[in-house]
Amino acid sequence: MKVTIARTAGFCFGVKRAVDTVYQQIAENPGVPIYTWGPIIHNEQVLADLEGKGVKMIESIEQADEISNGIMVVRAHGIGRELYERLDRPGIKLVDATCPFVKKIHRIVEEKSAEGCQIVVVGSSAHPEVQGIVGWSKIPATVVENVEDALQYAPEPGKTVCIVAQTTFNYKKFKDVVEKISEKSYDSTAVDTICNATYERQREAALLAEESDVMLVIGGRSSSNTQKLYEICRQHCPKTYYIQTALDIGDDWFWTDASVGITAGASTPKNIIEEVYTNVRLKF
């Protein structure tokens, strides 16, 4: 049985940076309460380890308001301006681990909205990264999730439309959405803000899936980019399975001469990928 791990599988730069930031704060500040705004990573195993080290996750402004001292780490997804300013107060050391690529989108949205441009964010309205991006617009922004939304979008006459994307959005779908919006507005600008690492991960996953009899996609159930990888792989390999750890692998998924491909979302640690690889190899 041939087993191949995608070169781009696992932690992306932004996620690794955020996770490393939390562990660094733990090491440098013994005894100091450490919090993260939302899950620092969409991976249950890493979150459990951080919780065991005393890190607490904050998911509402009410919880945050009760904190009088400690360190608050902003995750890679980033947050909106209003929330950022509310968290940045006396007694709280705010450590911003927002991915630099997401920060770039914040700056674009802030500057273009200040110029009076209509802001369109292509992505999932429920995703924290998109919610954070919208929070940097000085005027109400519109979130477009798919071509159907784009067809319904009605730009305000006489105003420029600035289109940006969630960093983990599917590149082809982004292009399709931009095309539909551009047909509605003669004055629109699309900024391709999809992370190059995301594009490469998706492209490599598609190529590997085409060559594989079985495809394993590893990642947390709440990971948006892993879900997109799964959808892409399923298009090219019907026997694609979404797993979180080696414990999820089915005994009847493989056969002696099967070609197995493995990829993983940006929130999947290297050790979990290696455990899956080892477990698959032991099947035959």
What are the pLDDT digits (tens) for 189-213?
999 999 988 889 999 999 999 999 9
Please state the domain extents for the chain: 2-10+197-281, 13-99, 101-190
The helix (run of H) or strand (run of E) holding residue 128 is helix 128-134
Cα separation of 25 and 70, whole Å?
11
The helix (run of H) or strand (run of E) holding residue 241 is strand 240-243
pTM for this prediction: 0.84
Question: What's the whole-number mean pLDDT along residues 114-143?
Answer: 96
Please check the confidence at residue 247 and state whether its pLDDT lies above 80. Answer: yes
Fold of 101-190: Cobalt-precorrin-4 Transmethylase; domain 1 (3.40.1010)
Cα separation of 142 and 134, whole Å?
8
Please check the confidence at residue 283 and state whether its pLDDT lies above 90. Answer: no
Question: Which one of 3.40.50.300, 3.40.1160.10, 3.40.50.2000, 3.40.1010.20 gives the CATH number of domain 2-10+197-281?
Answer: 3.40.1010.20
Helix/strand/coil for 228: helix
Report pLDDT for 43.
86
Report pLDDT for 222.
84
Cβ-contact 127, 158 below 8 angstroms: no
Cα separation of 204 and 32, whole Å?
42
Report pLDDT for 215.
98
Please check the confidence at residue 185 and state whether its pLDDT lies above 80. Answer: no
Please check the confidence at residue 284 and state whether its pLDDT lies above 80. Answer: no
Report pLDDT for 224.
83
Question: What's the whole-number mean pLDDT along residues 160-171?
Answer: 92
Cβ-contact 199, 172 below 8 angstroms: no
Please state which CATH number belongs to domain 13-99: 3.40.50.11270
Q: Strands of 188-190's sheet, edge to edge?
A: 142-144, 118-122, 161-165, 188-190
Report pLDDT for 16.
93
Cβ-contact 39, 97 below 8 angstroms: no
Helical axes 196-211 vs 224-236, angle rounded to 10°: 30
Question: What's the whole-number mean pLDDT along residues 132-157?
Answer: 95
The helix (run of H) or strand (run of E) holding residue 179 is helix 171-184
Strand partners, 122: 144, 165
Catalytic residues: 129
pLDDT, the chain, mean: 94
Question: What's the whole-number mean pLDDT along residues 116-145?
Answer: 96
Of all residues in the chain, the percent with pLDDT exceeding 70 is 100
Question: What's the whole-number mean pLDDT along residues 184-189?
Answer: 82
pLDDT band at residue 129 under the 50/70/90 scheme = very high
Please check the confidence at residue 42 and state whether its pLDDT lies above 90. Answer: no
φ/ψ region of 219 (left if φ > 0, alpha if ψ in -120 to 50, else beta) reads left
The candidate with the shortest Cα–Cα distance to 264, out of 282, 246, 239, is 246
Cβ-contact 11, 273 below 8 angstroms: no
Asked if the domains at 2-10+197-281 and 13-99 fall in one CATH topology, the answer is: no
Q: How far is CA 54 from its chain centroid?
A: 24
Question: What's the whole-number mean pLDDT along residues 77-89?
Answer: 94
